[in-house]
Structure formats: C-alpha cells, structure tokens
C-alpha cells in the first residue's frame, strides 16, 4: 500500500511517498520511505505553501506511486482554526479546508489527520539511528494548533508525550518576534539573528528582556503575546550595535531555555539520547551547548514543518524506518546529524 504524507497550505509544502507492507498473516508490518521532497525545490519559490505541479508530476511519473491508498495530513485543521479564532485571526475554517486544498491538485484520496507536534516527534524519533530505540524527543517551534513546545519519550515503537506547553507562550514565537524586531523576516530569517548574535553583547539588554518580555524559561512564559511581532518594543534601540545586542540577548535566552529543557529531560526521562525537531532545531549554536550532556543527539533533515510529511505517516504507523537522507529530493536539505558527544 502506498501512502502519501503531505504538509502545506501555510508555508513549506512537502510530500513523502511511503510503502506499507504486511508481514504475512500477523499484526507486524514493514514501512519504507521511498521519496520525499519540498515544493520550493521544484517551483523555486522560497517557502512555497502550495503543492508544486512539477513536484506532483515528478511523483506521478512513477506508476507505482501515482495512486496512494490514503493521504496523511500533518496537522489537525479544525484545532488550528479554533486556535486562530481564539487568537483573533478571524474565521479561518474555510481556508483550512484541506480536502478542498488537495482537490485543486487532483488529489481525491481519503485523508487522515495527525497532530502537528505528534508529526514532528514521530519524524524525529522513528528516523533516528539509535540502536537501543530509546530517546527523549524535544519539539520546539512557533506554534502547532495550540501546542508550542512538547517533550516525548520514545521507546521501541512507542511514543508518549510527557510535557506540553500551549499558545501564546512560545520560545519559537519569541525568537521569530525578535527576528522581526531586528529587521529580518520572521519565520524565514532566524538564521540571520543567530549569526548577528555573535557580534553583540547579550548582557547589555538582558535585564530589560527579563523585566519586559520574558517571565520564565521553564515553563517558558512571556509577559506579552508576541504572535504579531515585537516592533513595539523599545523603538529607540535602533543602532547597529543595539540590534546586534538584541540578537545576542535573544540567542542567549534561547540557549538558556534549551539547557533548562535538556536538564528536565535528564531528570524525567530514562534515556541517554535526545532528538530535536521543529523549526528551532535549526539553531546549531544553541544545540552545541548540549553536546557534552548527551551520548547522542539526532536532528533529522528538514526538522521544521517540511519533515512532517514523513512524520505524519509515522504517527499512524509507528515504526522505525530504515532512513536514508538521500531520499530527500535534490539533497538541498541539511543532512541529518547524529552528534556523538562522548
């Protein structure tokens, strides 16, 4: 049976082709990743939210892949719409009609839905190379439905959520809002904030951040909802030096939060390995601070939403896959990293 996992309709559309095969007359099965790709690598549009016609033509050119038995979507559109309504973004139920979104691309197969953070966690854990199949999984992004940060324990073929934090308190939203405050594009140019931080002094504005923006690091609590950015904060701080210092403080608070999360995982989860997924997993400078703490760290290719096209399928068929990063089309991803730390 061929299954497609799909993300999109907001940013970074992606598609994975996976094959499910039963092992005789038993409950056991084999799951194999055959191919995965991002729309932007076919259309040339950064963060392309649509399913590229060229990408679909590429997949459908293989007769064995062209007619999947079902589609697994990477998040719950109804929950997402409720959160957007609650957050004051208006009535979005129509634009979150995923069946209609897929029909515009000639996809009429049955659709199942997975939770956003579950898709992230399944992708990270079930593609990890940990031989003992036991790990802590940290999912950090801006927001998925209502959740903004979750911790999971993966053991064997089982995933259990052990910690959850909800909107509007989000370290991902914090980092993106301060990226916008510096003058970069939120949810796209956070890597520029990470680079700029190396030129600044985090101590200069640290107290201001803690008194005016951040309430605590674990649980990560914000004094203000930063969903719409932070351009309102201290507009007088606008010199190149000020912006570098803001970036440095943003990075420092993010790193401190990650260390707190890591410590919590060690205290509450019996595992020597850890997986990081979600857009925040792309922050290499912060991850480096944890390399001496864990035996191994795994960050899969495309750890943000695009990787969830694979993860969505793995939520329904929880099974370790024989993962080959080269199956990602055009190899434009950052290769999955297993960081051996001891």
Q: Could you tell me which of 128, 79, 125, 71 has the C-alpha nearest to residue 102? A: 71
The better pLDDT of the pair 123, 26 is held by 123
Instruction: Name every residue whose Cβ is closer than 8 Å to that of residue 85 and which is 6 or more positions away in sequence.
Output: 91, 92
Mean pLDDT of all residues in the chain? Answer: 93
In order of 9, 77, 99, 127, the CA distances from 104 in angstroms are 12, 17, 9, 31
- For 45-103, the pLDDT digits (tens) are 999 999 999 999 999 999 999 999 999 999 999 999 999 999 888 999 999 999 999 99
According to the model, what pLDDT value does residue 342 have? 47
Residue 229, Ramachandran bin (φ over 0: left; ψ between -120 and 50: alpha; else beta)? left
pLDDT band, very low/low/confident/very high, at 331 (cuts 50, 70, 90): very low
Q: What are the chain's domains?
A: 2-118+305-330 (3.30.420.40)
Q: How far apart are CA 2 and CA 290, in angstroms?
A: 38
**pLDDT in the model for residue 337:** 57
Q: Which residues contact 311 (CB under 8 A, 6 or more apart)?
A: 5, 74, 114, 118, 119, 120, 121, 122, 123, 124, 126, 277
Quick one: which of 224, 229, 228 has its CA closest to 213?
A: 224
Q: What angle do CA 49, 190, 265 make, to 5 degrees?
A: 100
**Dihedral of alpha carbons 261, 174, 242, 211, sign:** negative
For the stretch 5-35, pLDDT in tens is 999 999 899 999 999 998 877 778 889 999 9
Phi/psi of residue 191, nearest 5 degrees: -65, -25
CA dist 307 and 322 (Å) reads: 16
pLDDT tens for residues 228-256?
999 999 999 999 999 999 999 999 999 99
Report the alpha-carbon distance of residue 118 to residue 85 in Å, rounded. 22
Name the pLDDT band for 192 (thresholds 50, 70, 90): very high
CB-based contact 46:86 (threshold 8 Å)? no
């Amino acid at each position: 049976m061929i299954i497609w996992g799909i993300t999109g309709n907001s940013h970074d559309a992606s598609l994975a082709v996976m094959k499910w095969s039963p092992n005789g007359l038993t409950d056991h099965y084999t799951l194999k990743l055959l191919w995965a790709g991002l729309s932007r690598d076919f259309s040339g549009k950064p963060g392309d939210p649509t399913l590229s016609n060229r990408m679909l033509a590429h997949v459908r050119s293989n007769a064995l892949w062209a007619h999947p038995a079902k589609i697994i979507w990477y998040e719950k559109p109804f929950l997402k719409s409720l959160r957007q309504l609650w957050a004051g973004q208006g009535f979005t139920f129509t634009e979150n009609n995923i069946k209609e979104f897929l029909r515009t691309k000639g996809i009429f197969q049955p659709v199942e839905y997975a939770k956003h953070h579950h898709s992230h966690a399944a992708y990270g854990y079930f593609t990890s190379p940990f031989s003992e199949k036991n790990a802590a999984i940290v999912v950090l992004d801006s927001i998925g439905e209502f959740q903004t940060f979750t911790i999971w324990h993966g053991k064997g073929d089982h995933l259990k959520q052990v910690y959850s934090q909800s909107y509007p308190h989000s370290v991902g939203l914090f980092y993106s809002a301060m990226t916008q405050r510096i003058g970069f594009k939120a949810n796209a140019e956070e890597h520029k904030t990470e680079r700029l931080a190396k030129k600044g002094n985090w101590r200069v504005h640290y107290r201001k951040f803690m008194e005016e923006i951040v309430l605590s690091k674990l649980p990560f609590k914000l004094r203000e909802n930063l969903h719409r950015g932070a351009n309102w904060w201290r507009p007088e701080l606008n010199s190149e030096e000020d912006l570098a210092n803001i970036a440095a403080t943003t990075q420092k608070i993010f790193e401190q939060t990650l260390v707190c999360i890591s410590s919590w995982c060690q205290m509450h989860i019996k595992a020597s390995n850890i997986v990081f997924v979600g857009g925040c997993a792309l922050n290499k400078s912060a991850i480096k601070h944890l390399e001496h703490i864990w035996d191994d760290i795994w960050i899969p290719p495309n750890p943000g939403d695009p990787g969830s096209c694979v993860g969505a399928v793995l939520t329904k068929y929880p099974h370790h896959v024989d993962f080959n990063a080269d199956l990602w089309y055009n190899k434009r991803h950052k290769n999955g990293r297993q960081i051996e730390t001891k």
